[in-house]
Amino acid sequence: MFPQLPRGLVIPSLLLSASLDRRGPEGSRRLALALSALLALSCSGGSKDESGEAAVCASAPILGGSAQPGSIPFDAALQNTLGSLLIPGDGVARPTDDSALCSVVFVSARAALTARHCATSEHGSSVVAGEPLASAQVVRGSPLDPTARAASITRFWSHPELDVALLQLATPLSRAPIPLLDEPMGDAWSNAPVELAGYGFSRSEGLGVLQFASEQIESLETDRIVVNGDGRTGACKGDSGGPLFGSTASGELRVIGVLQGGTPSCAGTDYYTRVDRLLDWAPLVTVLAAKDSSCVSD
């Protein structure tokens, strides 16, 4: 399944030649091959980002991933919650540009959360809060799926303290996603079962294919949820920005975290931004209060 994408996975020009608006069976095949080849070549050892946290290396492929979740239902609501993000390197869609791949969490028909480091590119473009991410695309589902709907980003908010960004979409992509947790997390969440999900690298599927892993919460930090795959499962390149699912005491399924990153092994400790720390973030409060009812066809 999947650890961290500290700044998104860099995808060279070969990938953009199979971009979302020109995809077909051959384009999807080339994209899958290029993603897997790049991942194998791009990381030969662990590193650290500017925050001092371990950056993810693909030298140890993710273990234990599954195409089906182990602890939650694979239903329409779950599929409506999951998506991916492609960001050109300098904000202009040219075949020579690099691109970044991350996962996203839909929170309404026209809005999605991802990791802040996914939406602030370090390879050519600087992103200012409130401005569009030129040529970036959010996809409902996998970037390898030629039938998946995609939308451009019209507005972007970067959380001032946490590794979270909110994306406003030009057109509606999803409807009735799984809600965000809207209450503070307490001690009852300790050791609770959770489900990881994302489009990051897996040993069996490569990159860009939805995978799940069932784990337990190891600890709650002030702003983060810590989970541990104990050498069996975990998040990997391309999963940053993806959701962590958990059930409340009353049995209601909720998005409880957004992936920041994890250890280089892709099968160890992963860190998720706590969604309950976003309850008073003004841009998200506004988006959720709007309850966008734009029609989205299946």
The total number of structural domains in the chain stands at: 1
Look at residue 220 in the predicted model and tell me its pLDDT.
96
Give which of 28, 16, 25, 13 is closest to 207, Cα–Cα: 28
Q: What is the pTM of this model?
A: 0.76
Q: Is residue 56 part of a domain?
A: no
Q: Which amino acid is at 110?
A: R
CATH of the domain at 90: 2.40.10.10
Look at residue 3 in the predicted model and tell me its pLDDT.
37
Helix (H) or strand (E) segment spanning residue 36: helix 25-42
Radius of gyration of the chain (CA): 17
Q: Is residue 144 part of a domain?
A: yes
Question: Which residue range(s) make up the domain with 102?
Answer: 10-46+78-169
Q: What are phi and psi of 77, to 5 degrees?
A: -60, -40
pLDDT along the chain (298 residues), means of 10: 40 36 42 44 34 34 62 86 78 40 93 88 47 78 88 91 94 93 94 92 76 93 94 87 94 96 87 97 92 50
Look at residue 222 in the predicted model and tell me its pLDDT.
96
* Residues 171, 222: Cα–Cα separation, whole Å: 35
Q: Is residue 42 part of a domain?
A: yes
Q: Is residue 249 part of a domain?
A: no
Q: Is residue 191 part of a domain?
A: no
Look at residue 119 in the predicted model and tell me its pLDDT.
77
Tokens standing for residue 96: 């020579």
* Residues 254, 28: Cα–Cα separation, whole Å: 32
Q: Is residue 207 part of a domain?
A: no
Look at residue 1 in the predicted model and tell me its pLDDT.
53
Q: Is residue 58 part of a domain?
A: no
Look at residue 89 in the predicted model and tell me its pLDDT.
53
Long-range contacts (CB closer than 8 Å, 24 or more residues apart) made by 38-45:
38/9, 38/10, 38/11, 38/12, 39/9, 39/201, 39/206, 39/207, 39/237, 42/9, 42/10, 43/237, 45/264
**Contact at 8 Å (CB) between 256 and 246?**
yes
Look at residue 27 in the predicted model and tell me its pLDDT.
46
**Contact at 8 Å (CB) between 260 and 4?**
yes
Q: Is residue 243 part of a domain?
A: no
